[in-house]
Amino acid sequence: MLLEVDTIRTSYGISEVLFGLSFHVAEGEVVGLLGRNGVGKSTTMRSIVGLTPPHAGEIRWRGKRIDGRPTYDIARNGVGFVPEDRRIFPELTVWENLDIARRASASGEGWTEAKVFALFPDLERIQGRKGGFLSGGQQQMLAIARALLGNPELLLLDEPSEGLAPLVVADLRDQIATLKEQGLSVVLAEQNLDFVLSLSDRVYILERGEIRFEGMPGEVRGNSDLIERYLTV
């Protein structure tokens, strides 16, 4: 198993947000995390990469514990994270945003600027533009491109389609599908049900910091009980 999240409990100060949450990701799998705002999807990702480490439970990467390890170490082990706010440097150009990520990466092999430009041709065209002048879609693609330069084996994407126009979302879906075809494992936290169901091999539904459902996308699609209970606003 690539990643095992085993009954983790995570808190912000005294307020507990994840209550013994467990899920796993096999090699090459795309796993969707679904649930309304505030159920703990971002906190789950932040727990995995060590930004808000769990205070109980275990997180294992290829069978070895990574909970409690520093974020840079978890990244070097092969876990890439694209946070919801994308964290683009606004004063740096697209090229410079990528260059920094490549230099920070431990391994010089694998992803290169040329390869990320092949996946995101738009980024090549605007490589001289400053991060602060990008559209939401361009920012999202830059954030994913930057994470890829760290040569992850697993990519955690937090709400990648949020705020993007439908045509841009369609492009993003194709790009994530290409990454999957290339063997990358992905965890996708999303509100956009069609987007997740069309990409995922398996999905989990969260509510109040716990997993309430695990199944195949086909078991969620058209299941109005499940959708009404856990997903509609």
- Residues binding ligand ATP (CB under 6 A): 12, 15, 17, 35, 37-43, 84
Q: Least distance in Å: CB of 48 to ligand ATP?
A: 12
Which CB atom, from 95 or from 213, has the smaller least distance to ligand ATP? Answer: 213
Among residues 161, 228, 213, the alpha carbon closest in space to that of 33 is found at 213
Nearer to ligand ATP, 41 or 86 (CB): 41
Residue 98 or 211 having the CB closest to ligand ATP:
211
Contact by Cβ (8 Å): 120, 166: no
Closer residue to ligand ATP, CB minimum distance, 21 or 98: 21
Min CB(232)–ligand ATP separation in Å:
15
How far, rounded to the nearest angstrom, does the alpha carbon of residue 133 sit from its chain's CA centroid?
23
CB of 102 to ligand ATP, least distance (A): 29
Distance of closest approach, residue 57 Cβ to ligand ATP, in angstroms: 16
Give the residue with the Cβ less far from ligand ATP, 17 or 176: 17
- Three-state SS for 56? strand
**What are the backbone dihedrals phi and psi of residue 211, each rounded to the nearest 5 degrees, phi first?**
-80, 125
| DSSP string across 118-173 | HH-HHHHHTTTSBGGG--HHHHHHHHHHHHHTT--SEEEEESTTTT--HHHHHHHH
Q: In the sheet that 64-65 helps form, which strands lie side by side, from edge to edge?
A: 15-25, 3-12, 56-61, 64-65
Pairing between strand 154-158 and 79-82? parallel
In terms of CB distance, is 163 or 215 closer to ligand ATP?
A: 163
- Token look-up 């507990």 returns 16
Shortest distance in whole angstroms from residue 149 CB to ligand ATP: 25
CB of 15 to ligand ATP, least distance (A): 6
